Amino acid sequence: MPARATRRFIGYPTDSLVAVLPDAASAASAAAALRSAGIPDRDITILRGPEGADRLDGTGAANGVIARLRRLVSFTLMDQLVDMATYEQAVRDGQVVVMAKPRNAARKAAAITVLGEQKGHFINYYGRFATEEIERWRGPEPSVPGLLRR
């Protein structure tokens, strides 16, 4: 299953679709279908396990003081950024997060279809200036502090 090899904190997933998938098999199928839809490997990120959760790091706690400060500032400026805590907890609970940069409207529409077909939910598009809610959370929500909920 392709995934970025670097372990970097994800501050804001600019111009990316982000979705929760139930397991690694559905994430691998989604990645293959995203590639077939024209999205190159470099624009697909699969986050799973402790390393994936630490990259999402909803509070910045796993990535040090700078990450914590960045999250604090981001929470005050961007109300949707609290979603990172939900994505992080979903990964810690055994689900998988797939991020894709579609780069144009046709690929974005195709990617939304692909993610939905693979049982993706909590699908959001994080644009440069706005967040677009595509698909709401389905099922029991992850346990995150009340301040970190939409």
Q: What is the pLDDT of residues 85-108, one digit of tens each?
A: 899 899 999 999 999 999 999 999
Q: Is the pTM above the cut of 0.85?
A: no
Q: What's the rounded Cα separation, in Å, for the pair 66 and 136?
A: 30
Here the tokens at position 105 are: 């409207």
Other CB atoms within 10 Å distance of the CB of residue 97: 27
pLDDT tens digits along 6-65? 468 777 788 999 999 999 999 999 999 999 999 999 999 999 998 888 887 665 566 656
Half-sphere exposure of 43 (CA within 13 A, CB side): 19
